[in-house]
Structure 1
Amino acid sequence: MHGKWDWLRDEVKGFGLIRNAPTIFKFISGKLSGPDDLVKCALCPNMCRHACPISIVDGKETTSPAGKSRVAFLIREGKVELNLKNLEPLYMCLSCDACSQWCPFEFSVADLIRPIKEEAVEKGVTFEEFKEVFENLEKHGYVYGEPREEKVWKARGEVLYLRGCAIRENYPTLTDKALYVLDKLGHKAFTIEEKCCGVPAYNLGNKELFKKLAKEQAERINSSGASLVVVSCPSCAYAYRVLYPRYGVKIEPKVVHIAELLEENLENIRAEGVVTFHDPCKLAIGLEKPDTLKNVLSKVEGLEVAAPRRSGKETFCCGHGGSAVSRLNPKLADEIARERANELGEEAKLVITACPTCKMALEGVGDLKVLDLVEFIHDLLRDEDARIEGG
């Protein structure tokens, strides 16, 4: 590990801790037992803060990545009280995991501080802004409350399309477009009366509610008869593929994000103009698919794809991830979205993303035209069909 800790040695000098430096180095590098991962993160001089959207826009020490870990540590050790004031910095996290990309140990600050959130929920120390979410999920299995009556496309094959809460509530027409795209790819897809995947409860620290929703949703999926599950929401895909197995919940069919399916199967499609793209965190980082969105757009002949400065695993969150920031501090969430929108606007006025929440966040703060990947590909396929029919 030659040179790996040079940055820490320099930082430690600045804090007058040089006499303790050898011990600190041993602790952090894992050569000496004692401190757990939360302590290691708390000791770090914020080497990932340059990538954290909260830290970049908010600029406060307590909401920086290591700052959150320090607060979590102090709460855990009983040095400060477990109350809403002290908990608030922990909820200023988008769960984007940008921090993990710059950490020598690939720590996720969201994962490190989650046990403190779970303890708070168990003890009833919960923000008012979260209570309605928990009640809606508990009663209806839907973030937004009692769902409106929805059309269900009955089984036409073995591909189940899961819409997710954001599409069901904010972009219901995307369902028809997704089914059309899937049909053009050779999949006769159907839908079911689905429940929330549970990610909002998970991010807010309600572990028991998350497990309940996961079991209910898994039962619905597994009993659907599907051999393949396609989703439009990266957080849903992340829940089914990464989180559910952690809690012993098994989804029997294979689960893919629709962008992954397009990456493998899209061909013979054309367009003109310039577009840029916004990689959703849970697709690029969570599912480790940093190039999927760019690859799909690159398949479109004649289209100029201008990559933003921050993309792939270095993408910049839309500000509305993680379930908490947009509820506790909507102004900060919008400021982060605006930071991202301004960056994207430097490349093109048409932005393609692959997450309905990202679409909602980015189109709400500027003059950009933001399309979900499904919308964009649907329109191109429709135009191609019209061209062929017109001879």
Structure 2
Amino acid sequence: MTHHDTTTCVFCPDLCLYSCPTVRGSGNSSSSPFAKVSVLHWLNRFPDSSGTKAEDVAYLCTNCGLCTEVCLHDQPVGQWLFEKRQELFSERKVPAQALRMCPDEDSLRQTLVESAELINSSKTPSIVFFPGCDMLKQGPEKVAQVVEVLDRVGIHDVGLDVDGPVCCGAPWRDVGDEAGFLSRIATWHRRFERFEGVVVAEPRCSRALKDASVESSRKRRYPQTFQLWKVLTRSLRSPSRKKIPHVVSLHKSCHIARHLEPHIMPECLSEGFVIERTQENVFSGRQEQCCGHAGGFSEWAEENALRAGEVLMEEASSTGADQILSLAPACAHHLRRARANRTDLPDIIDIVEFTQKALDAGTGKQE
């Protein structure tokens, strides 16, 4: 554990209760940050006690960081729970269900190869697009769509590295395998440092790369990375573009809101540029809500994770929004799954689809 005292959580009035996506998904206060830290606290004091086990609470977390953001004492709840995951992994006590967080890399490799075939580019690119495991799970068509959109916004010499990494390693950290996470990060850097730059699809991957670079003591040249959402939003800055006729609620994702770019609001996504009208979320800025997909939670407790996404969409709907724009394609995919049986909720669109729609509108392809 860190220098923060878990006793503070044990005797706290539970101010973080409604910030937690595991509570919002389950509707059960027993999965609140307060409750989970209380379990760890008493297990540390009485390790031989019966009842709730550490593995029952350690994986009930997306590591979104909102509980720490709203906490008056900045208690690092997510950090504690992830440290417990590492402890369970080192003791070989990881539940079988948690191992589902790690993707099948052979299957992802095949999807990457199929994506390259769709792009049909034979030359070695100077800039490589890294889709990551979340986007590869959506299929080769999604990956090819991104490369096409990047080309349309002026990044022409971009392609895929079919022999490169298919995952940044974040799922291994979610399980508790810190060594597996850091080794994949190191492989990622070694492979991609030969390119002029890397466009990273998911904020989750960008956060993992940032965290690993802070932890690493090695001084080496890292490849220059670009976040996909920033590349695409910068391409939409022209105020002369035809407006998208929707009331849009922006979902930055917890990774961007609290860990990557907490103070950035893309100017082009503000009202009057490419969006007719924007509607601020109930929780916005650094208090952006997590959709429930992060931290391996969607694999550990899929039903609760989808319900957390449903609650987020209900809140956006209450503000009058008819469309939710997510800067993270993985979050958008998760929200679509959560919306499957709720057609009354706002439509979901990710930044890639939004950019494509704005470009088409500008060329007259859409009404």
Same fold (TM over 0.5): yes
Matched, 1:256 2:229: no
Which residue in 2 is equivalent to 1:371? 349
Which residue in 1 is equivalent to 2:131? 163
| Alignment-mate amino acid for residue 242 of structure 1 | D
Which one of the candidate residues 201, 211, 214 is aligned to 1:232?
A: 201
Superposition map of 1:41-60 within 5 A: 41-43=8-10, 45=12, 46-60=14-28
Counterparts of 1:68 and 1:251, CA distance in 2: 40
Residues 315-345 of structure 1: CA distance to partner in whole angstroms, max 9, x if unpaired? 111112110x322322211211111121222
Which one of the candidate residues 314, 324, 345 is aligned to 1:342?
A: 314
Which one of the candidate residues 80, 83, 98 is aligned to 1:112?
A: 80
Which residue in 2 is equivalent to 1:199? 170
Shift of 1:83: 9.7
Number of paired residues?
347
Which residue in 2 is equivalent to 1:220? 191
Counterparts of 2:198 and 2:324, CA distance in 1: 26
Matched, 1:322 2:295: yes
TM-score (norm 1): 0.78
| Distance change in 2, residues 1:155/1:39 (3 Å) | farther
Q: CA RMSD in A?
A: 3.0
Q: Percent of aligned pairs with the same residue?
A: 19
| Distance change in 2, residues 1:212/1:365 (3 Å) | same
Higher RCO (C-alpha 8 Å, min separation 6): 2
Which one of the candidate residues 328, 331, 338 is aligned to 2:303?
A: 331
Residues 271-314 of structure 1: CA distance to partner in whole angstroms, max 9, x if unpaired? 23122222211011121335435753547345211222122221
| Alignment-mate amino acid for residue 9 of structure 2 | A
The runs of 5 or more residues in structure 2 that have no matched partner are: none
Matched, 1:151 2:120: no
Matched, 1:304 2:305: no
TM-score (norm 2): 0.83
Matched, 1:282 2:251: no
Shift of 1:69: 1.8
Which one of the candidate residues 205, 209, 232 is aligned to 2:180?
A: 209
Shift of 1:120: 0.6
* Structure whose CA Rg is larger: 1
The runs of 5 or more residues in structure 1 that have no matched partner are: 1-33
Local SS of the residue matching 2:273? coil
Which one of the candidate residues 95, 101, 114 is aligned to 2:63?
A: 95
Residues 199, 210 of structure 1: 8 Å contact kept: yes
Local SS of the residue matching 1:339? helix
Residues 345-372 of structure 1: CA distance to partner in whole angstroms, max 9, x if unpaired? 2332322102122112211222242111
| Distance change in 2, residues 1:384/1:38 (3 Å) | same
Residues 326, 351 of structure 2: 8 Å contact kept: yes
Which one of the candidate residues 327, 331, 335 is aligned to 1:354?
A: 327
| Distance change in 2, residues 1:56/1:156 (3 Å) | same
Residues 232, 354 of structure 1: 8 Å contact kept: no
